[in-house]
Amino acid sequence: MLDRYLEFTNSAFGKQFASSLGLPTPPRLQRAESGYAAAPLAGMKVLIAADAAATASAAVLAALRALGATVQVAPGHSGFAAVKAGAQAAGVELHSEGSDSDPIAPVIVFDATGIAGTGGLKQVYELFQPRARRLVANTRVVVLARATADTDSVQAATAAAGLRGFVRSLAKEIGKNGSTANLLEVSRAGDAWLSGPLAFFTGPNSAYVTGQVLAVGDAPKGATAPAHCNQSLAGKVAVVTGAARGIGAAIAQILAREGATVVGMDRPAEEGALGATLSPLNGVGLALDVTAPDAGERLASELNARFGGADIIVHNAGVTRDKMLRNMTPALWDMVLDINLGAILNINERLLQSGLKPGARFVCISSIGGIGGNAGQTNYAATKAGVIGYAEALAPILAKKGMAINAVAPGFIETQMTAAMPMANREVGRRVNSLAQGGLPQDIAEAVTFFASPLAMGINGKTLRVCGQNWLGA
């Protein structure tokens, strides 16, 4: 659904009108218009800084080089020696940042993996404070902290936790011009798997992801790092449930954009819409209700017969049937629980017997409603919180099989589901986030595709909110 307020305030007259009344002017977000390039940062300046004892700089610089970035540094910053040492180790050429009157690089990466205590946080302040006022529109800030389990002391763990508050607050300050800030908490083993997360978080694919914390760790056994970012799903078979429309259709499109063959599933009543979504993608439609008792069996047979199994399973099908608990009938409760959660467990249980290829990756769609809760959504929120717990619980089991599972928690996304909301609720839902607008189905699809791809090899059991830093449950 068109966000008329955003369109209006981005016109010359609308901008002036809104600013004279002190109304918010949602920025126009820069989203990906095509698939990942082989080296997505080619031709782009990236400013890198570090704390003086940073331990991941060589890995970060090697990743930035692989992504094609032109690396800039701030020689006056107190952690410059760590960056220089990292660059020498990685064989990366450094360029000095321009003068104060030059535009700041549109990507800023701060390696804060060596901060040993509270005082060390000042180094983050020193880098960002003088630049905060001068960030260009749609700047991507990525801060790296050492994962708590891999910190050397209570003081270091405390400082690493402090970075969460810093990044979340910075994201709230810089969202006005479409800029984002996110934190990667990296284990030592995760250093080897940084190029994929950096490709996602420094690019247009993460336009609606801000103020988030994501852990990067080791990859499943036998995984190899992708040599380049383009067409990373070529030769892969991906299943998407609820693919006829809305977010599911966008997921099918973006997975196909990156090279996957998509098998889209939806209820038999949606067969026409399913065909319309999948035929331009050369995909396969499967009219099958996810709650059918034989859904797992039929899907597994189809996958095995046609493709010898699937590489990617995206559980997107979901419904809302909102009622205050006092008015909720057993039928409404059961329906939402069965579709949004029960079906995921049943289908996966069957596919894990046979129907998957080695290294399979699962992605489930949760919701920020499952994190913050919503009056009138006890059924829905129970399922969406369940999805998060399911991913956490299944991840270590899948890791032993060389597989992975993650979840994406959308905020307010412009779909038929949200178009059906009362107008006042819809308008509030759109604005209560750091980017002052609803997300698009494409935003969820980009995050799902990232998790489904080798770019997210070091991420397992995690949930990423794609919500513009919505205030719900923040």
Helix (H, G, I), strand (E, B) or coil at 55: coil
Q: Which is nearer to ligand NAP, 123 or 415 (CB)?
A: 415
Interface with ligand NAP, residue 146, by CB under 6 A: no
Task: Give the integer Cα–Cα distance in Å for 271 and 50.
Answer: 53
Residue type at 14? G
Which range touches ligand NAP (CB under 6 A), out of 34-42, 60-68, 393-401, 416-424? 416-424
- 17, HSE (Cβ side, Cα atoms, 13 Å): 10
Interface with ligand NAP, residue 277, by CB under 6 A: no
Beta partners for 216? 186
Residues 6+ apart with CB under 8 A from 317: 241, 242, 248, 265, 266, 290, 339, 340, 343
Task: Give the integer Cα–Cα distance in Å for 445 and 438.
Answer: 15
Interface with ligand NAP, residue 364, by CB under 6 A: no
Q: Which is nearer to ligand NAP, 316 or 453 (CB)?
A: 316
- Name the residues annotated as catalytic: 380
Q: Which is nearer to ligand NAP, 287 or 328 (CB)?
A: 287
Kindly tell me which residue out of 57, 179, 195, 415 binds ligand NAP, with binding defined by CB under 6 A.
415
Q: At 123, which helix (H) or strand (E)?
A: helix 122-128
Kindly tell me which residue out of 131, 140, 267, 361 binds ligand NAP, with binding defined by CB under 6 A.
267
Kindly tell me which residue out of 90, 135, 290, 403 binds ligand NAP, with binding defined by CB under 6 A.
290
Distance (Å) of CA 403 to CA 259, 353, 400, 427: 20, 14, 7, 40
Task: Give the integer Cα–Cα distance in Å for 266 and 241.
Answer: 6
Interface with ligand NAP, residue 302, by CB under 6 A: no
Helix (H, G, I), strand (E, B) or coil at 393: helix
Interface with ligand NAP, residue 367, by CB under 6 A: yes
Q: Which is nearer to ligand NAP, 51 or 270 (CB)?
A: 270
Interface with ligand NAP, residue 201, by CB under 6 A: no
Binding-residue pattern over the window 227 to 266 for ligand NAP, x denoting contact by CB under 6 A: --------------xx-xxxxx----------------xx
Q: Could you tell me the end-to-end alpha-carbon distance of the chain, in angstroms, rounded to an integer?
A: 25
Residue 157 CB neighbours (<10 A): 17
Q: Which is nearer to ligand NAP, 154 or 331 (CB)?
A: 331
Interaction site with ligand NAP (CB under 6 A)? 241-242, 244-248, 265-267, 269-270, 289-291, 316-319, 339, 365, 367, 410, 412-413, 415-418
